[in-house]
Amino acid sequence: MSLFQKSHQIIAFFSYWLNQEDKYAIQSPSVFEIYTGLLHFFKKNKNIDLEIEKYRSILLQDHQELEIEDYGAGSIHLKKNLRKTSAITKYSTSTRKYAQLYQYFCQLTPAQQVLELGTCVGLTTRYLSKVTKGKLFTIEGSSALWHKAQSYQTHSNTTFLLGEIEKTLPVLLSSIEKLDFALIDATHTYQATLSYIKQIIPYTRHDSILIVADIHWSSSMEKAWEQIKQLPEVSLTLDFYEAGVVFLNPKLPKEDFVLKI
């Protein structure tokens, strides 16, 4: 990690810490309901989906080296194209708390058509598959990760797609009538993140929810997040530091909340 990026992340987290609100500070009734619902979801699901965490433990002990085709900004910890599965799992996957956060917001939608950009080793994929009522499509650009993500038992509602997102996403979207939920956790550049959001929005409903991971990962990702908040289709946004939640429902206030997790 460069000194510049390390400094950026320290400043970004300090800013988040200063501005974060808990449930007692939230004035909006709709946001209070959404946020307290998330806290209840965490509590209720404390002992749910633990088999996925057993899979995480297996991956953390898996030292197989994978040849990674990296089409994005890459991990700040992983720079070589040849990477151990254990290191990828440690540095490039969402924690259980954030995977459950994704679950919560996914299940607030009809969850009939769900999309994940950036399969990685498939941990978050498995969490999302548990709350997907219809079909879950997950796209990964690296063939080695695509294979690894399917090396352990997967849910029958999940379709694993291999290919560069910029080429695969338009084809997939054209075959989907409407998208209920999307998690964007890939590429991590300003241009790509905005491109994905703008491609996805025309295929959404008012009750669809989009999530962008790593919104404070770099200055370019913060710039992308600021641009996303200004899009005319976007109403409410929630900043959980490692993820930004985007609502498209015009009945919700066009506000941004920085929330404690």
Count: domains in the chain? 1
Residue 248's closest CA among 212, 198, 201, 216? 201
| Measured distance CA(78)–CA(99) in Å, rounded | 21
Q: Is the distance from CB of 196 to CB of 168 less than 8 angstroms?
A: no
**pLDDT for 69 beyond 80:** no
The CATH number assigned to the domain holding 233 equals: 3.40.50.150
pLDDT of residue 12: 86
Residue-by-residue DSSP string for 129-174: HHH-SSEEEEEES-HHHHHHHTSS---TTEEEEES-HHHHHHHHHH
Q: Is the pLDDT of residue 72 over 80?
A: no
pLDDT number for residue 9:
79
Considering only CA atoms, which of 17, 84, 89 is closest in space to residue 53? 89
More confident residue, 237 or 5: 237
| pLDDT surpasses 60 at 75 | no
**What confidence score (pLDDT) does residue 153 get?**
83
Q: Does residue 135 surpass a pLDDT of 60?
A: yes
Is residue 132 within 8 Å of residue 122, measured between CB atoms? no
pLDDT at 28 over 80: yes
Task: Give a yes or no: residue 191 inside a domain.
Answer: yes
Q: Decide if 69 is inside a domain.
A: no
In a domain, 75, yes or no: no
Residue 16 lies in a domain: yes
User: Which residues fall within 8 angstroms of residue 90, CB to CB, at 6 or more apart?
Assistant: 60
Q: How far is CA 257 from CA 37, 100, 235, 261, in A?
A: 15, 19, 11, 12
For 156-176, write each residue's pLDDT tens digit. Answer: 999 999 999 999 999 999 999
Which structure tokens are listed for 255?
């506000």
Going 191 to 193 to 199 to 202, the CA torsion angle's sign is negative
pTM: 0.93
pLDDT of residue 14: 76
Task: Give 3: exposed, middle or buried? Use CB within 10 Å, 0-12, 13-18, 19+.
Answer: exposed
User: Is residue 61 domain-resident?
Assistant: no
Whether residue 182 is contained in a domain is answered as: yes
**179-184 vs 204-213, strand pairing mode:** parallel
Domain of residue 248, residue span: 3-48+94-258
Instruction: With a cut of 70, say whether residue 2 has pLDDT above it.
Output: no
Q: 141 in a domain, yes or no?
A: yes
With respect to residue 63, please indicate whether it lies within any of the assigned structural domains.
no
